Amino acid sequence: MEFTPHPGFVLWFTGLSGAGKTTLARAVEAELRARAMRVEVLDGDIVRQQLTRDLGFSKEDRDQNILRVGFVAQLLSRNQVAVLAAFISPYRDTRARVRAQTTHFIEVFVDAPLEVCAARDTKGLYARALAGEILHFTGISDPYEAPEAPEIHLRTDQLTVTECVQIILSALEARRLLPPAR
Amino acid sequence: MEFTPHPGFVLWFTGLSGAGKTTLARAVEAELRARAMRVEVLDGDIVRQQLTRDLGFSKEDRDQNILRVGFVAQLLSRNQVAVLAAFISPYRDTRARVRAQTTHFIEVFVDAPLEVCAARDTKGLYARALAGEILHFTGISDPYEAPEAPEIHLRTDQLTVTECVQIILSALEARRLLPPAR
């Protein structure tokens, strides 16, 4: 299979649990694959299995988790892979550290109000967090530091997945990171 | 910069400390870059900084270390990156697990007698291990399980670096993993 050369980049999806990070990453992945690009999706479920099984959810452990992902994202993106990273990544300074070591870092703020995320409760986690069964739950018992100047800001309670994907693809196009569809 | 497409593979250098793993990986790296290939060298110094700072040298920790590296090597190699991994990786079953999850896995046994490695003592570690200052030191106080059927077996006490590199390049060529030199 032949691949379209492109410079490689990291689309970093940050936001609350249930905001739609992985859903958007997977939808963008399909679009990029249709353009014969090399793509890897990294998300919490994959990474905490393979790379960071030892880590919990304290600030220190979350930071370690994100920095390890940042290292992998850097390795991949500098080899012309499009990396779609979907992590709550609640701390601004940690995201900034990952940004600093990546050439094309595009922060995507996947934004939906806490009430909306809690109502969706895709994984049943909010119910458990509100019942006090999960410590360190972002938005409930742990902080979420929203991006101050993300490259892309998506209100997923107001936009459809397709609309969000279009916005992301346009942003990639504007940066000449997207080859034409075949 | 344009890159030559190739299927991606993992050259896994295993052997005692001081056997010449990183030296060979760096020498092969130069050859592959001269062929405009995408290459990443992973070795203990890099990885224990970025990925596994939490881990020590017990069997369990060493295994975790290698499995994390294996995950990263898999991500890179399936995106057509040549991965040169240089790790003592003393346990046979752990190397087998990494092999099982990688498409083109080429085990390179970097073999020199313990006495030769200890005499070289590139990092001054053998002196400290023999003085009892380092616990879990492979070859001294910890086992090294030599590969039983490595794709490549190099006696680095009998061959020059250049000779070793030629053997590795020939093995890649035979597997159609090496584009012609430019």
The helix/strand/coil state of B82 is: strand
The helix/strand/coil state of B41 is: strand
Task: Kindly name the residue from A17, A89, A141, A170 that is annotated as catalytic.
Answer: A89
Looking at residue B4, its pLDDT comes to 64
Closest CA to B53 of A67, A15, A94, A155: A67
The alpha-helical segments, DSSP class H, found in chain B are 21-34, 44-50, 59-77, 92-100, 114-120, 125-130, 161-174
Q: In tens digits, what is the pLDDT along chain A, a chain of 182 residues?
A: 456 667 899 999 999 999 999 999 999 999 999 998 999 999 988 887 777 777 778 888 888 889 999 999 999 999 999 999 999 999 999 999 999 999 899 999 999 999 999 999 988 999 999 999 988 899 999 999 999 999 999 999 999 999 999 999 999 999 999 987 65
Q: Tell me the nearest-neighbour CA distance from B36 into chain A, angstroms.
A: 12
Cα B8 to Cα A135: distance, rounded to the nearest angstrom:
42
Q: How many CB atoms lie within 10 A of CB B47?
A: 21
| Residues A3, B3: C-beta atoms closer than 8 Å | no
Q: Could you tell me how many CB contacts below 8 A there are between chain A and chain B?
A: 44
Active site residue A170: no
The helix/strand/coil state of B108 is: strand
Q: Record the tokens describing residue A182, joined without a space.
A: 């075949």
Residues of B belonging to the active site: 89
Contact residues of B toward A, CB < 8 A: 2-3, 5, 38, 40, 50-51, 53-54, 64, 67-68, 71-72, 75-76, 79-81
Helices and strands (DSSP H and E) totals, chain B: 7, 5
Query: For the segment B122-177, what is each residue's pLDDT rounded down to a tens digit?
Result: 889 999 999 999 888 999 989 999 999 999 999 999 999 999 999 999 999 999 99
Looking at residue B17, its pLDDT comes to 94
ipTM of this model? 0.85
Chain A residues close to B69, C-beta within 8 Å? none
Q: What is the pTM of this model?
A: 0.89
